[in-house]
């Protein structure tokens, strides 16, 4: 997913992606206006919201009421190293939920995408480009790191080439896509 950032007044920033706009600011103690959550606050919220999403999904598929389920996340910061943190997610469940479903609800949180990406340790690449719009289109034509091609019986081209071709056609039509896997 491409996220475009615009610089607003003072320390406020705007991120645009899909059909959404998110505004961030800094707290007054960091010379911001405190008019919006900071970037790290959104990150923390994304983890808690992702966990809650999977709890809701688990409950919805089993017709379990979420009315009395509560979820909270706290980040515990190591005073010696602020980058060393524990994200503690706590779930309050009503008494009438079975032991099996209690275990299932807690296990469902393990599926949280934000949690998995953070635990895997994403790689960040920072680079200068001449044109962001042109560079974003080249991402659609990236090829796998290995030279291996996936051939499917009855197809005239390898799977990777078909994906590249279709990505190019969609990009030319102005359709943005995200290659996820």
Rg (CA), the chain: 22
Does 164 lie in the same domain as 103?
no
Is residue 1 within 8 A of residue 18, CB to CB? The reply is: yes
In a domain, 179, yes or no: no
Does 95 lie in the same domain as 60?
yes
Does 159 lie in the same domain as 76?
no
Does 75 lie in the same domain as 17?
yes
Does 95 lie in the same domain as 9?
yes
Q: CA 85, CA 81: separation in Å to the nearest integer?
A: 8
Report the predicted TM-score, pTM, of the whole model to 2 decimal places: 0.69
How is residue 2 written in tokens? 């491409």
User: Which among 79, 97, 120 is the end of a domain?
Assistant: 120
Does 106 lie in the same domain as 44?
yes
Domain containing residue 97: CATH number: 3.30.300.20
The tens digit of pLDDT for each residue in 122-147 reads 988 898 888 887 766 565 555 445 55
**Structural domain total, the chain:** 2
Q: Which residue has the higher pLDDT, 29 or 160?
A: 29
Is residue 85 within 8 A of residue 75, CB to CB? The reply is: yes
DSSP string covering 62-103: TT---TT-EEEEEEEEETTEEEEEEEEEEEE--TTS-HHHHH
Does 136 lie in the same domain as 114?
no
Query: Which is nearest to 159 in space by CA: 138, 139, 140, 143?
Result: 143
Supply the pLDDT for residue 116: 92
Supply the pLDDT for residue 174: 85
Helix (H) or strand (E) holding 109: helix 99-109
CA of 23: how far to CAs of 5, 15, 43, in Å? 10, 6, 13
Does 24 lie in the same domain as 68?
yes
The dihedral built from the CA positions of residue 138, 17, 119 and 106, taken in this order, carries a sign that is negative
Does 9 lie in the same domain as 73?
yes
Does 43 lie in the same domain as 82?
yes
pLDDT at 36 over 80: yes
In a domain, 127, yes or no: no
Supply the pLDDT for residue 143: 46
pLDDT at 18 over 50: yes
- What is the domain extent for residue 48? 4-120
The tens digit of pLDDT for each residue in 88-130 reads 999 999 999 999 999 999 999 999 999 999 999 998 889 888 8
Does 150 lie in the same domain as 115?
no
Supply the pLDDT for residue 137: 58
Is residue 51 within 8 A of residue 112, CB to CB? The reply is: yes
pLDDT at 176 over 50: yes
Strand extents, DSSP E, the chain: 4-7, 13-17, 20-24, 70-78, 81-92
The tens digit of pLDDT for each residue in 46-96 reads 999 999 999 999 999 999 999 999 999 999 999 999 999 999 999 999 999
The tens digit of pLDDT for each residue in 141-173 reads 554 455 567 777 777 788 888 888 888 888 888
């Amino acid at each position: 997913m491409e996220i475009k950032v615009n610089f607003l007044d003072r320390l406020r920033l705007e991120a645009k992606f899909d059909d959404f706009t998110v505004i961030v600011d800094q707290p007054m103690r960091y010379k911001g206006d405190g008019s919006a959550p900071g970037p790290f606050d959104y990150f923390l919220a994304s983890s808690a919201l992702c966990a809650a999403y999977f709890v809701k999904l688990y409950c919805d598929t089993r017709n379990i009421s979420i009315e009395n389920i509560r979820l909270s996340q706290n980040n515990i910061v190591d005073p010696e190293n602020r980058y060393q943190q524990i994200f503690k997610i706590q779930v309050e469940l009503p008494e009438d939920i079975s032991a099996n479903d209690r275990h299932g609800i807690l296990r469902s949180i393990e599926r949280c995408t934000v949690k998995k990406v953070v635990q895997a340790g994403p790689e960040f690449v920072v680079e200068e480009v001449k044109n962001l719009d042109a560079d974003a289109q080249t991402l659609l034509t990236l090829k796998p790191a290995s030279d291996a091609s996936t051939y499917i019986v009855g197809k005239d081209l390898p799977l990777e080439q078909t994906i590249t071709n279709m990505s190019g056609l969609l990009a030319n039509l102005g359709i943005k896509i995200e290659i996820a896997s």
